[in-house]
Structure 1
């Protein structure tokens, strides 16, 4: 199992790019009959390689992780080089730029390399071959990685050791093992390919514990995109919903207290012997040998029939609440969906723009916020939040 983790660590890729996990069960084939230890200072990167500096695999963090992995486990897969097309005595990398950079970062003086004879191949042909190599390095699914980690844990290898071997944090290891403990509904959504981002699955698993119905409704929404930006919007929706419910409950509790106090003060003592609250907006009133449960409205009616005085403000509050009928033609909260700069988003109606004709928007894909010219925004839909 340790060898399998070593293979993950030394694949020369970020973990979302590592090769077929099935290959962990057998030795990785060499790309040629043998390799040599080459002076690392005689090797140059190919400036025309398909990967650019903007590739996530070339980020400082990614190279640092690979460098740590190579430092712990060694370079298990040689890089592939060819003779430099312009400088005699030097070499150019065909495959393994990340392993090369990580090894240099570790201070290596030599690096294991397979030297290929390119013959009369054109630069374009070499570049195509480089692209093919990258395309063939299909990343393992998070679930495949999770099973490998789980097997290592079962054999007694600790999370810290595993994270050190593969150059990832213990939190990253925990993130993936969560996939093996998902509720049936989330597990089905993941395996069906509906949600493939392990971070989204991890967050949904946390939300599922307290918002099961909402999570399943979100997953079953037709046309719903499951991006991190959309997840952030969903989390905001659940937060707003919780705050609104809490506000309604507080208002009901306050209203019940007011009704109870007024009724107890004003009701005729010969008719009512005792009043005790039994729930939100209700009180248990004992009249003689009989008992009844009265709502706030009934308490007011009882007070009126008894000829007692009623607090005008309380009566006005009651009348106002009676008039609060839900209008199906109006939104409680509106979300304005837009399209800007080739990306979906929404207008942030609660933020004041710097000047007329501008507005704040939030992109759905990554949650980024910025102020834009509204003339550049395309209105897509107005939905209920």
Structure 2
């Protein structure tokens, strides 16, 4: 095996490319974890000091024994877009391929390598580190800490304070405008939602953003709902809670009406109460029935206003995903009948 180092030629076709210092530094995102490169200085070179080399992608192979096996295609596409715009900011690390002279195996940076190929790049900045083992790869993956949602929000807040627009920030970090908007909402959360987020009770940024929207219209209802420590905050529960609030049955409207009558009858119907007795409600009658069921061991509810295609089936809506489908009633288990 050839003794390839940073000072020796890696191969005939790569003499210039492998020893050419990198000139373009850009933003390469390794998932959310690589957002840390926006907040700190680039990592120090492995296996020596100085500028990284520009390594030919055609001479680089992925390590077949690397511990990381799964790569999200959408995340790779986002990273490829940032690499097209600004290049790779954090160099990868490689070592000489012991089986093929003049080629390299990736120590770390497989995602940046794959995204660079998607971006149709020819070279990638990197360092040659022969002293790298499989144990080092495992340690790196175990010790890599992604930025928290709050840390991402703080970065977005600083960029907004510097006059950047959300669309510009989204493009710079290779994320959607919705991603930036949702994280920006974490900068000024209403108190009950802030407690739920900071305590770790709800870590889903999308759900927090949805709750902020509900709080703007139903602040008291959201505060009461979150005050129940036993209330789970999931996509299904928030969806049902939203429908409950929007149905007008949450009690907020009734409380406001009662306040008006107590303050001298300021409501439009204040004078009509003497002529028309309020209709007594039937305590056994449900205003809005919600039939909770289980199908294929998944929580769901019957959709009562959607006509089934044939007898023996009914439309149901899964609580965990919102998906609607027709189900055989013989395979649907009735769990509860609630008032919406």
> Which TM-score band (shorter chain)?
0.7 to 0.9
Which of 306, 309, 327 pairs up with 1:372?
Answer: 327
- Return closer, same or farther for 1:142/1:356 CA change in 2, 3 Å cut-off: same
- C-alpha distance in structure 2 between counterparts of 1:378 and 1:48, whole Å: 47
TM-score, normalization: structure 2?
0.73
- Maintained 8 Å contact 1:63/1:102: yes
Q: Distance in 1 between matches of 2:154 and 2:331?
A: 47
What is the CA deviation profile of residues 1-20 of structure 1, one whole-angstrom value per residue up to 9, with x for unaligned ones?
Answer: xxxxx99x43422x3x4466
1:12 is the counterpart of 2:25: no
Normalising by structure 1, we get a TM-score of 0.65
Cα distance change, pair 177–278 in 1 and its aligned pair in 2 (3 A):
closer
Given the superposition, is the C-alpha separation of residues 156 and 351 from structure 1 closer, same or farther in structure 2, using an over 3 Å criterion?
closer
State how far apart, in whole Å, the 2-side matches of 1:374 and 1:107 are: 53
Q: Secondary structure at the match of 1:296?
A: coil
Instruction: Say whether 1:44 aligns with 2:61.
Output: yes
Q: Gapped runs of 5+ residues in structure 1? A: 1-5, 247-276, 284-292, 298-317
Bigger Rg, which one: 1
Task: Report if aligned partners of 1:334, 1:383 keep a CA contact under 8 Å in 2.
Answer: yes
* Distance in structure 1 (CA, Å) of the matches to 2:186 and 2:267: 45
Instruction: Indicate whether 1:280 and 2:269 are aligned.
Output: yes
Alignment of 1:280-359 (within 5 A): 280=269, 282-283=271-272, 294-297=274-277, 321-322=279-280, 324-327=281-284, 331-359=286-314
Alignment of 1:48-197 (within 5 A): 49-52=66-69, 55=71, 57-59=72-74, 62-84=75-97, 89-117=102-130, 126=134, 130-197=137-204
Higher mean C-alpha deviation, range 80-89 or range 32-41: 80-89
Measured after TM superposition, the shift of residue 331 of structure 1 is: 3.7
Deviation, 1:208, is 0.7
Query: For the Cα contact (< 8 Å) 1:37–1:111, is it kept in 2?
Result: yes
Quote the offset at 1:211 in angstroms: 0.6
- In the TM superposition, residue 38 of structure 1 has moved relative to its aligned partner by 2.1
Match of 1:384 in 2: 339
Aligned to 1:24: 39
Partner of 2:12: none
Q: Where does 1:195-214 land on structure 2 (aligned, <5 Å)?
A: 195-214=202-221
SS of residue matched to 1:209: helix
CA contact (8 A) 2:35 2:173 kept: no
Tell me the alpha carbon deviations over residues 77-117 of structure 1, each in whole angstroms, 9 at most, x when there is no partner.
Answer: 12233455765544343432221122122221111234444
Partners of 1:20 and 1:235 lie apart in 2 by: 35
C-alpha distance 166-245 of structure 1, shift in aligned 2 (>3 A): closer
Task: Report the structure, 1 or 2, having the larger helix content.
Answer: 1
